Amino acid sequence: MNITLDSQIKRVLFANGVPVDVGGIEKSIMDIYRGIDRKNLLIDFVVRKPQSGYYHKEIELYNGRIFNIFDRTKHKGNRKWNIYSDIYSFFEFYRILKKRGPYSAVHIVHPNLDGYLIAAAKLAGVPIRIIHSHNTGFDDRKAPNFMRILIRKASLSLGKLLATHIWGCSRAACEHMFGKEIMKDTRAEVVQNPVDIRKFRDNTLERVSAREQFKIPNNKIVILNVARYAPQKNHKFLVDILEEATKIRKDIHLMMIGTGPLEDVVKDYVEEKNVGNFVTMLDKNTSVPLALKASDFFVLPSIYEGFGNTLIEAQAANVPCFASTACQPEPNLGLVDYLPLNKGPKYWAEVILSNIERNDKKKVDEDRLFSYDLSTVSSHMENVYLKGSKYFEG
């Protein structure tokens, strides 16, 4: 519901780049938005496209504002990037900060693309300036040219120089973006992504009824994957695992939840491998807690991964997980087995199926699990945004 605004409410400006749509970063910041005290703090967003994203109505419901940085241009952001786009963005970002502020903090989540905006925040007198790495790789549709590489390095360097807080969702994410020695910098911290733990612990959900909603028989072995259809998430390898598993036994079923540019490619690959009867591709709005309740295993064969929030969600629901060794160690709260991709899909299928009859029940580290809870993370983030403290001092 809308809240009454007063002059004491502080605001954060979150630079997202694309419209605030369904994705890991967007979900995390929206979870934080839901968890903070919106009588003290509101979050605005800067994007580079005029299109409305999945979360835009919710943001506006909270009295958050969404600014398209190219709103005053004819193209509104619907054109290919060039260096002049970044130059324009710098001055327009500064204008937004001065005209729509004051802002207590600026939060940049793509430092190699938008790190230079920290300089605009510094010039505008914003006291808290955060750059945040969320991954250990980058999916370019095509190889960047020399100029683009140079601009990215300059953007990242400027962001590092002028930021007050340097964050990563894991140590590897920090080091990948900011350099191997970054953790020696007193501004650097590994910051948890929020998860609504209690939602995944909901005991009112029942396995049989959950499977009925997905029209999956109770005697099936269900493997779940929740991920954006993008190269990083390695869905073809996942389908290959399923194909190998069906050679061993026929009571296997794979559920996938997501959206993304490769969705049609994955659908075609499922048909090419002739495993359509063993696969359900679910809408991006599908309830993940319900899907986990219906599942026996969670599988994440990513090519690279900054953290892997879905692993926390799965373990909160007590679902055993199998992840590639490219995924980070931090999300392992006791139920994650890491497997190398170079062993191939047959090896993965055999390992996963060998766990069906295992009785050595592993347990989740409850203390670590609840350190990721939405209420805990939101409280820390609110203190950073309002006071400029370090995350673990908040």
pLDDT of 158 reads 93
pLDDT of 221 reads 96
Task: Enter the pTM of the model.
Answer: 0.85
Q: 16: which 2 tokens?
A: 């997202």
- pLDDT 10s digits, 32-76: 999 999 999 999 999 988 888 889 999 999 999 999 999 999 898
Average pLDDT, the chain: 90
Query: How far, in Å, CA of 251 to CA of 284, rounded?
Result: 25
- Average of pLDDT values for 172-185? 93
Confidence of residue 202 (pLDDT cuts 50, 70, 90): confident
| Residue 123, burial from CB neighbour count under 10 angstroms (0-12, 13-18, 19+) | middle
The residue with tokens 């390992």 is: 351
- pLDDT 10s digits, 99-153: 999 999 999 998 888 899 999 999 999 999 999 998 777 655 666 677 777 888 8
* Partners of residue 270 on adjacent β-strands: none
